[in-house]
């Protein structure tokens, strides 16, 4: 509240003819009167209330929880803290697709070419064509951006029949957070070492400079290793690992004759005969060297000895 000052007009002094000494005395009296009047005007009115004392500084609340409850400005911060943590998942998909044996190589090539047209990284590929001794098969291993996974699987479904599809996910969130924190700490430490190394004001010995340089080199090596690990984690969590195995499709015949023992025996007779002939050939090939090198010479010697004995008896 502003202070109201009391109105104090100067007293009216009427001039009167006086002498020189009287004028000096009168001048001194006028000066004293003016000084007293000004002092009286500077006082406050006794009837007015005194001015309010200055406000005391604001005191902090007793607890942080009470301040958060009373202050609406703290609500956005708490809402931000309650936001869900970003998760980093390494997703892996394993598929097995069946194709007609004559179209296996063509289907394998189409899926591989489709990977090259998308945001896809081909890790490995193999193709084994069908032979009389073994069936054909193919395999593709790749990393695909999540936005292009559906396109790749759609192209696979157009050329083959997916008979098995397994999806697994590994949480890499803790590992990513740990690596990023290590990178930040090592970066700040490296920058501080560089400032110390470039400081020309502080006097340091050669041993101190060499120690700083050695620590800086070790810190930079750790920082490079952490950066490489972060890139590997980004590849694992930024793209999905997809592995596709191509196998030939086999038709299953379930007619009434397939369970008849006689029909099955007649169908298997040729295979059994061929197997028996093969076994016989194997036995002959194994016995023939013994027959030529051992049995025939021994038999010839026995026959020669028997004839000689017979001649001696006759004589």
Where do runs of H (alpha helix) occur along the chain? 20-42, 64-70, 74-81, 104-117, 149-159, 173-198, 206-238, 261-290, 296-314
Rounded distance, CA 120 to CA 93, Å? 14
pLDDT in tens, the chain (315 residues): 444 444 444 444 444 444 444 555 555 455 555 545 544 444 444 444 444 444 443 333 333 333 333 433 444 444 445 557 788 999 999 999 999 988 999 999 999 999 999 999 999 999 998 887 788 899 999 999 999 999 999 999 999 999 999 999 999 999 999 999 999 999 999 999 999 988 888 888 999 989 999 999 999 999 999 999 999 999 889 999 999 999 998 765 444 444 567 777 777 787 888 888 888 888 888 888 887 777 778 888 888 888 888 888 887
Coil, strand or helix at 159:
helix
User: What pLDDT does residue 131 have?
Assistant: 83
Instruction: Give the separation between CA 71 and CA 60, rounded to whole angstroms.
Output: 12
The reported pLDDT for the residue numbered 297 is 81
Q: Where exactly are the structural domains of the chain? A: 1-46, 85-252
What's the sign of the alpha-carbon dihedral 68, 70, 71, 77?
Answer: positive
Instruction: Round to the nearest angstrom and report the end-to-end CA distance of the chain.
Output: 171
Compute the distance between CA of residue 191 and CA of residue 199 in angstroms, rounded to an integer: 12
3-state secondary structure 240-278: EEEEEEEEECCCCCCCHHHHCHHHHHHHHHHHHHHHHHH
């Amino acid at each position: 509240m502003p202070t109201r000052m009391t109105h104090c007009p100067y007293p009216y002094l009427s001039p009167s003819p006086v002498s020189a000494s009287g004028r000096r005395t009168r001048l001194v009296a006028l000066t004293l009167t003016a000084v007293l009047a000004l002092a009286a005007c500077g006082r406050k009115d006794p009837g007015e209330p005194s001015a309010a004392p200055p406000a005391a500084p604001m005191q902090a609340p007793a607890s942080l929880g009470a301040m958060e409850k009373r202050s609406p400005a703290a609500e956005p911060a708490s809402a931000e803290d309650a936001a869900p943590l970003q998760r980093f998942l390494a997703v892996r998909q394993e598929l097995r697709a069946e194709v007609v044996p004559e179209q296996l190589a063509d289907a394998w090539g189409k899926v591989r070419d489709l990977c090259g047209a998308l945001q896809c990284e081909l890790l490995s590929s193999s193709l084994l064509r069908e032979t009389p001794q073994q069936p054909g098969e193919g395999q593709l291993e790749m990393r695909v951006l999540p936005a292009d996974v559906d396109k790749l699987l759609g192209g696979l479904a157009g050329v083959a029949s997916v008979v098995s599809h397994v999806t697994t996910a590994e949480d890499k969130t803790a590992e990513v957070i740990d690596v990023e924190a290590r990178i930040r700490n090592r970066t700040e430490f490296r920058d501080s070492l560089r400032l110390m190394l470039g400081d020309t004001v502080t006097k340091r010995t050669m041993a101190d400079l060499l120690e700083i340089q050695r620590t800086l080199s070790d810190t930079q090596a750790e920082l490079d290793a952490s950066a490489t690990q972060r890139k590997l984690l980004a590849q694992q969590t930024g793209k999905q690992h997809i592995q596709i195995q191509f196998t030939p499709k086999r038709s299953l015949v379930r007619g009434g004759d397939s369970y008849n023992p006689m029909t099955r025996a007649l169908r298997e007779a040729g295979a059994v005969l061929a197997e028996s002939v093969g076994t016989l050939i194997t036995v002959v090939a194994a016995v023939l060297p013994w027959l030529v090198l051992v049995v025939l010479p021994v038999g010839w010697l026995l026959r020669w000895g028997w004839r000689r004995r017979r001649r001696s008896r006759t004589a």
